[in-house]
Chains A and B, each alone.
Chain A
């Protein structure tokens, strides 16, 4: 079979799977599919035994192909979606800090959320956005949304859709323009933040759908950051939390917490420890912890089992790789 035929075949298979997944999402085919606890344990034991078998083969000097690693990672991510196993999620101090800051806000307070990410980072940041907005709207805290990334406001709309479906939020009957508003994207990176510090209106003259700033009751009296009670930045890179801290927090004294991707979160500990950030949600784990502390069951909690499994599998392969390294001698390289 030629490479071109293989490519076409793979593209066809991906297309068929995509159509099935799309139809499954529309008609909710996968929502109720669940392994029993016994079956879940059996699946875990099988994966563990398979890893053990690979370790034994490695000790015998038979190395595995990288495609085997791909298959294991794939199973580790997908299978837990169907498992009925609960994990005890412990709240870390940085997540508790975000929650504590939120708890001090009175009904009617205004929270600014900046959506500085795009779909690739959504699996980590979207659960944070959904639970954060849900918490705000269910506690009568007004939400002002902006985006320094072009796709940010669209991600905000998706998060709003989920939040507005929550029963506690529905009970409050939040109104667009009064309880929440999406001011859309503005180009200019940290210059946008800087201008917002002196004149909020100059950067967002209309909202996401073209409504004039002065016609929106929630924001018409907001002149600069001094009218914002708390800010939350969801960031996946530049511009993001670092720029918000350097401009809005340091210069204008904005009180701010952040939600970052797991890759970016370690950089933010410097700001967190210095008191420039009031709390940090790091990666999907941060999202799951925030959901737990807020009493919301969302995607973060649901996906944590997958993340746990994926981490264990990666660690297992690192150990196996090191076993191969020490057995094969330091000079011998793995042919994978």
Chain B
């Protein structure tokens, strides 16, 4: 039953969602409403589950003094501080001027932005080390990247301002983005969509069971 019930739920919900897309009338429209609401409720629980699981893993790391357990202390303390302040400030905890809002704006935002900003340095370093014109394909990619990178910023047009408007770098970048890039993206997206359809069908029909865990 541990496998049959989830398989049955997956099959029924999957088929109902497929049918309601093509027949948006009762009873399928009602099924769509129910299942969507259930999904929202389950998602809300999943957030709690994720947070509590993070706490459990962090506590285990601290108590067992595993490697880098100091970072887990930071996680637990941050979680407690944010949660306590949030609950203490009541329903309007996110309003401007609250302590929670201050933490969000001056601690969480700069820290998150810093983590993301590091990417710029790594991209530059990786491009320097790995972006090589090794063969024809790599050279084409390199040339396209050059035109897009320089053409997507105003300095590109400033450099080529002596050329007719249609040949300036922003126009070249725009052409690359609109035609060859879009063609490539479409091919990838169609491929992904076909893969998704076949995988979804396998899951709905119970052929693919790896998401239930325990092999086969």
Contact A318 B134 (CB under 8 A): no
Whether A22 sits at the interface, judged by CB under 8 Å, is yes
**Interface residue ranges, A against B (CB under 8 Å):** 18, 22, 66, 69-70, 72-74, 77, 87-90, 92-93, 118-123, 150-151, 153-154, 157-158, 161, 186-189, 191-192, 194-195, 198-199, 202-203, 208-210, 251, 262, 266-267, 269-270, 273, 282-283, 285, 288, 304, 307-315, 317-318, 320-322, 325, 330, 334, 336
Contact of A119 among B29, B108, B189 (CB under 8 A): B108
Q: How far is the CA of A325 from the CA of B182 in the complex (A)?
A: 31
Closest to B35 in A: A191
Contact of B132 among A150, A262, A322 (CB under 8 A): A322
Contact A209 B92 (CB under 8 A): yes
Q: How far is the CA of A288 from the CA of B157 in the complex (A)?
A: 15
Contact of A269 among B108, B112, B149, B177 (CB under 8 A): B177
Q: Which of B106, B112, B125, B177 has the most CB of A within 10 A?
A: B125
Contact B113 A120 (CB under 8 A): yes
Contact B129 A66 (CB under 8 A): yes
> Number of contacts between A and B (CB, 8 Å)?
168
Q: How far is the CA of A191 from the CA of B104 in the complex (A)?
A: 28
Contact B178 A273 (CB under 8 A): yes
Contact A194 B120 (CB under 8 A): no
A-side contacts of B109, CB under 8 Å: 119, 122
- Known interface pairs A73-B120, A92-B174, A317-B127. Does A186 touch B185 (Cβ–Cβ under 8 Å)? no
* Secondary structure of the B contact surface, majority rule: helix
Whether B199 sits at the interface, judged by CB under 8 Å, is no
Q: How far is the CA of A89 from the CA of B146 in the complex (A)?
A: 19
Contact of A267 among B110, B125, B152, B185 (CB under 8 A): B185
Closest to A202 in B: B37
Q: How far is the CA of A16 from the CA of B155 in the complex (A)?
A: 35
Q: How far is the CA of A147 from the CA of B56 in the complex (A)?
A: 29
Contact B155 A308 (CB under 8 A): yes
Q: In angstroms, how far is the closest chain A Cβ from the Cβ of B174?
A: 6
B-side contacts of A198, CB under 8 Å: 29, 32-33
Q: How far is the CA of A49 from the CA of B118 in the complex (A)?
A: 25
- Known interface pairs A122-B109, A269-B185, A325-B132. Does A161 touch B96 (Cβ–Cβ under 8 Å)? yes
- Known interface pairs A273-B182, A318-B131, A336-B128. Does A118 touch B154 (Cβ–Cβ under 8 Å)? no
Number of interface residues of B (CB under 8 A): 61
Q: Which of B134-152 contact A (CB under 8 A)?
A: 134, 142, 145-146, 149-150, 152
Q: How far is the CA of A209 from the CA of B153 in the complex (A)?
A: 40
Contact B150 A70 (CB under 8 A): no
Closest to B110 in A: A18
Contact B47 A157 (CB under 8 A): no
Q: Which 7 A-B pairs have the closest CB atoms?
A: A120-B116, A87-B154, A188-B40, A308-B155, A119-B112, A119-B109, A317-B128
- Known interface pairs A209-B95, A314-B149. Does A188 touch B128 (Cβ–Cβ under 8 Å)? no
Contact B40 A187 (CB under 8 A): yes
Q: In angstroms, how far is the closest chain A Cβ from the Cβ of B165?
A: 9
Contact of B128 among A18, A66, A202, A251 (CB under 8 A): A66
Q: Which of B36, B123, B185, B189 has the most CB of A within 10 A?
A: B36
Contact B185 A69 (CB under 8 A): no
Contact A321 B129 (CB under 8 A): yes
B-side contacts of A315, CB under 8 Å: 146, 149-150
Q: How far is the CA of A123 from the CA of B119 in the complex (A)?
A: 13
Contact A154 B94 (CB under 8 A): yes
A-side contacts of B101, CB under 8 Å: 154, 157
Whether B4 sits at the interface, judged by CB under 8 Å, is no
Q: In angstroms, how far is the closest chain B Cβ from the Cβ of A110?
A: 23
Q: How far is the CA of A121 from the CA of B44 in the complex (A)?
A: 24
Closest to B152 in A: A285
Contact A90 B157 (CB under 8 A): yes
Contact of B44 among A187, A202, A285, A336 (CB under 8 A): A187
